[in-house]
Structure 1
Amino acid sequence: MAESSGGSKKLLWIMVVLVLLSSIGAAAAIYMVMSQDKNAGGNAAAQEVAVRQTPIFLKVEPFTVNLAGDRTGSRLLYTGITLRVGDEQSKEILAEHMPQVRSRLLLLLSNKQASELATPDGKEQLSQSIIARLNKPFAENQPDLDLREVLFTEFIVQ
């Protein structure tokens, strides 16, 4: 009989160890699931922070300019430009100084040749030149402009 009680004690200890191991495994599984939910919640919060911003545009009325002479004689450019800015303050500054904006654009464009503007690369370089020209301050103590993009809404070289 002593042997049978020793065997049941071993069985009891094995069952206790198995219960403890299963509890530890279950706790680890629950921890992993909970930490994934927290990470997903963190990603959702990050996604909420990246809220879609409405773009801010300022339209410059279309105008015609004489291009620099080339082998084919005098040429004209008719263009409409829209500026995409990053904030309302930049839009207001550009709108307040629209005569200066148009003057800078006309001076810049009148020095271009039709052959320069005919290619997509030429238009991209023109866009970068416009951004550089318009980022120069219009008045003293003017805050920096957040000029993001120049969009050509009309573009005819004749």
Structure 2
Amino acid sequence: MCRRRTFAQRLAPFTARQQRRTARVQTTLWHVGLALSGATGARLAQRLGISISGETILRLLKRNSQKHVATTSNLTLVGVDDWAFKRGHRYGTLLVDLEQRRPLDRLPDRDATSVANWLTGNRAIRIVSRDRAGVDAEGITRSAPQAIQVADR
């Protein structure tokens, strides 16, 4: 019987079990991904000395998006924009808290009714930033007439 034992100390404050990156690098990549998204974020990460692909940055954002969702209390500035589940086939609506720069909700479609239903529960909203889509404008006007609409290009 062998009496030799191997001991390995876990680096709990720095990394989770079976993880390839430290918590600090994960946070950095998450912020890079939020600011620049996939391919552009991967290029910046390469310049910072972190080897990662654009798809991995997007997976990191999707996996950690639920941890960083903003609360809907005391909302005053909201951004409404469409995004693609599958480009050219299925689109949804993304709602963002512009003060905290955090996602609020993802709606499964690009419809005025779903935007109106979401905004109905939040009467404190004063300003809504949106693109020039008429669908978003109609939903905002219907449910939050007190809100100023700011349209971007």
Pairwise same-fold verdict (TM > 0.5):
no
> What is the TM-score with the length of structure 2 in the denominator?
0.20
**Which structure's residues are more often helix, by fraction?**
1
> What is the TM-score with the length of structure 1 in the denominator?
0.20
Name the larger-Rg structure.
Answer: 1
